[in-house]
Chains A and B, each alone.
Chain A
Amino acid sequence: MDRIRLTGPAAILHYKNKKVRGERPHDSTELMPGRRGPWYHSRVGHSASIPSAAFSVPAATVAVRHSALVRVAHWIATLCFFALLLSGAEIVISHPRFYWGETGNDLTQPWFKLHIPASRKLVPTGYGYVLPDQNGWSRYLHFQSAWLVVFTGLLYVIFGLLTGYFRKHMVPAGSDLSWRALARSIASHWRFQRPSEEEAWSYNVLQRLSYLFVIFVLFPLVVWTGLAMSPAFVSAIPAAVNLLGGQQSARTLHFFVSLALVLFLLVHVTMIWLAGFWSRMRAMITGRAVTIGERT
């Protein structure tokens, strides 16, 4: 991904340096040395070139920000996330009470309950009405989306590991992990500063840490706690639920991890909004990002 960072002003600089050293690039690809794995290959064709005969700074430089696999995985995950959130919320409505341990029902004391109406008569909600039962399609949709997002996630993680994507894009540089650097990044986020130009091409340290946390902690946890609620799954792998402290604990944890994912979504969308909603959306839809001259 070195190539990516060499567009825009950096690329011009690079070009000039080459010129000084007496090298002459043949085309734009020359400007972008780096890996040539199959995943990266398509970038070359799409990258806008800097005209070889001119030194003028182009009005805008367009290059590939996100590979096709990352974009497709991102939007499938987005679609699945909303389907899981909607169907999950619908299922919670049928019993908005949460317990710790193995069992819990209307006759036992809940650990906590949501003060919302329920879709079942027996649940003591304090509301004088019962919502319609929608658990049938909710459960079908929940599991279908779960399969899709798990397959997509596995593909994404395997490709990410094989191509060095996580190492290059997600693992923060050692220097970024000092308390001072982290504090600086947190402070700039706290003041809602617009991200630097460079950040259109690379994730900052807080982004990297939160994405790593979502991909390698929250996502596996939400799958695990989900499977731990399945009576058939835990018949084959009882440790899946025993380690969590029981079936109702698994359900409660599943709810909390989902809340953490919703929190991530809110922060994620807010940050996208602050950074320039349409440019970031374009980068994730078409793969191209416009850096110079754009002020969205």
Chain B
Amino acid sequence: MNKPSGAELSSRELSMRKLSRRKLITGGIAAAAGVAGLDVAARLAQKYGLIPPDHGGFYGIGETLNYASHRLLTRHSLAREFSRSQISKPPFANEMQPLPEAFHRLQAGGFADWRLSIGGMVARPASFSLEQIKSYPSRSQITMLQCEEGWSYIAEWIGVPLSQILQTVEVHPQARYVVYFSIEPDWWDSIDMADALHPQTFLAYGMNGGALPVGNGGPLRLRIPRQVGYKSVKFITHLTVTDDLKRFGKGLGSASPEGGYAWYAGI
């Protein structure tokens, strides 16, 4: 390119300077508005419970967008239900870690001594046997269990809505999460109250007309059909109602983020 003449250069420089001053001012205003907007957005998100416990770190932004957008979009929506003819045959059971000795002892006794204890922010902490849980009116849903890996199956799930049990123990109004624990060591997870009180969130003890097979989480598993499979923790023994997830594990809401998986799994 030809070198510009002196006069041209200075006039160009001048226009560049004007341009950069204008750019600086508009850029400054835009940046300030952006920061203020983000601050307002963050406050609103906090207020309306749109921030997931694993919001920190590099992937926190995407995770927060997933959770917040889904909460706004799906607070009351129902997972798709299927017809009886769409139930997968044969039913699929995923691979499992070897179960602990305590499980085998309970299994030998026909799970007669299996207990589900509930504590935390509830008026009446309680411990239920399977028989007591089954004494509540049973409900069923034919929904899909889809794994984050890509496979899926449809089954009829029989159980009692978690909301029914939470109603029985009288959850404090300021409660925000339900933390649930498996008999498998270090396997626990949590859901917000929108999911905990959702009509399709079940404590499931039956499947396809029979008892819930051990391979599918029997005798008792959680079913959260609006999230992928790993949120539906198997072999549930304990629930804690809380308003703060920081006190559990590493404070990320469940064992999943500690293993690198997202807390919210609606996608």
Say whether A and B bind each other. yes
* Distance of A104 Cα from B1 Cα, bound (Å): 62
Cβ-defined contact, B92 with A137, below 8 A: no
Contact A102/B144 with A45-B15, A235-B79, A251-B150 known, Cβ cut-off 8 Å: yes
Q: How far is the CB of B50 from chain A (nearest CB, A)?
A: 14
Report the interface size class on chain B.
35 or more
Contact of A137 among B59, B94, B144 (CB under 8 A): B59
B105 contacts A by Cβ under 8 Å = no
Report the interface size class on chain A.
35 or more
Interface of B, secondary structure class, is: loop
* Distance of A145 Cα from B61 Cα, bound (Å): 10
Would you list which residues of chain A between 156 and 193 have a CB under 8 Å from chain B? none
Cβ-defined contact, B259 with A232, below 8 A: no
Cβ-defined contact, A143 with B1, below 8 A: no
Cβ-defined contact, B267 with A143, below 8 A: yes
Contact A236/B151 with A102-B144, A140-B59, A230-B267 known, Cβ cut-off 8 Å: no
Cβ-defined contact, A248 with B152, below 8 A: yes
Contact of B154 among A61, A102, A143 (CB under 8 A): A102
Q: How far is the CB of A274 from chain B (nearest CB, A)?
A: 25
Cβ-defined contact, B80 with A140, below 8 A: no
Contact of A140 among B63, B92, B146, B147 (CB under 8 A): B63
Contact of A108 among B15, B88, B95, B259 (CB under 8 A): B88
* Distance of A241 Cα from B148 Cα, bound (Å): 17
Would you list which residues of chain B between 87 and 102 have a CB under 8 Å from chain A? 88, 90, 92, 94-95
Q: Which B residues are CB-close (under 8 A) to A247?
A: 144, 146, 152
Contact of A139 among B153, B225, B226, B262 (CB under 8 A): B262
Cβ-defined contact, A122 with B94, below 8 A: yes
Cβ-defined contact, B80 with A232, below 8 A: no
Contact A233/B80 with A104-B151, A137-B59 known, Cβ cut-off 8 Å: no
Most buried by B among A121, A135, A232: A232
A95 contacts B by Cβ under 8 Å = yes
A128 contacts B by Cβ under 8 Å = no
Cβ-defined contact, B88 with A231, below 8 A: no
Contact of B266 among A94, A97, A233 (CB under 8 A): A233
Annotate A37-63 by CB proximity to B: 1 below 8 A, 0 otherwise: 000001001001101000000111110
B136 contacts A by Cβ under 8 Å = no
Q: Which A residues are CB-close (under 8 A) to B16?
A: 45
Contact A58/B1 with A105-B92, A231-B227, A232-B74 known, Cβ cut-off 8 Å: yes
Closest to B266 in A: A232
B210 contacts A by Cβ under 8 Å = no
Q: How far is the CB of A33 from chain B (nearest CB, A)?
A: 18
Cβ-defined contact, A147 with B62, below 8 A: yes
Contact of A235 among B66, B74, B146 (CB under 8 A): B74
A22 contacts B by Cβ under 8 Å = no
Contact of B4 among A45, A49, A141, A229 (CB under 8 A): A49
Contact A231/B150 with A48-B1, A147-B65 known, Cβ cut-off 8 Å: no
* Distance of A141 Cα from B264 Cα, bound (Å): 14
Contact of A238 among B19, B70, B80 (CB under 8 A): B80
Annotate B139-164 by CB proximity to A: 1 below 8 A, 0 otherwise: 00000101111111110000000000
Cβ-defined contact, A141 with B150, below 8 A: no
B261 contacts A by Cβ under 8 Å = yes
* Distance of A121 Cα from B96 Cα, bound (Å): 10
Closest to B80 in A: A238
Q: How far is the CB of B27 from chain A (nearest CB, A)?
A: 13
A222 contacts B by Cβ under 8 Å = no
Contact of A233 among B73, B150, B225 (CB under 8 A): B73
Closest to B2 in A: A58
B174 contacts A by Cβ under 8 Å = no
Q: Which B residues are CB-close (under 8 A) to A48?
A: 1-2, 4
* Distance of A270 Cα from B95 Cα, bound (Å): 44
B43 contacts A by Cβ under 8 Å = no
B214 contacts A by Cβ under 8 Å = no
Q: Which 6 A-B pairs have the closest CB atoms?
A: A136-B260, A232-B266, A144-B62, A95-B150, A140-B59, A105-B151
17 pairs, CB–CB < 8 Å, chain A vs chain B? A27-B8, A102-B154, A122-B94, A136-B256, A136-B262, A137-B59, A140-B62, A140-B262, A143-B63, A143-B65, A145-B62, A227-B267, A232-B266, A235-B226, A236-B74, A236-B77, A241-B80
Chain A residues within 8 Å of B, Cβ to Cβ: 27, 42, 45, 48-49, 51, 58-62, 91-92, 94-95, 97, 102-108, 120-122, 135-137, 139-141, 143-148, 227, 229-236, 238, 241, 247-248, 251
Could you list 14 further interchain pairs (A-B, Cβ under 8 angstroms) beyond the known A106-B151, A135-B261?
Answer: A48-B4, A92-B150, A102-B152, A103-B144, A103-B154, A105-B153, A140-B260, A140-B262, A231-B146, A231-B225, A231-B226, A233-B73, A238-B80, A241-B80
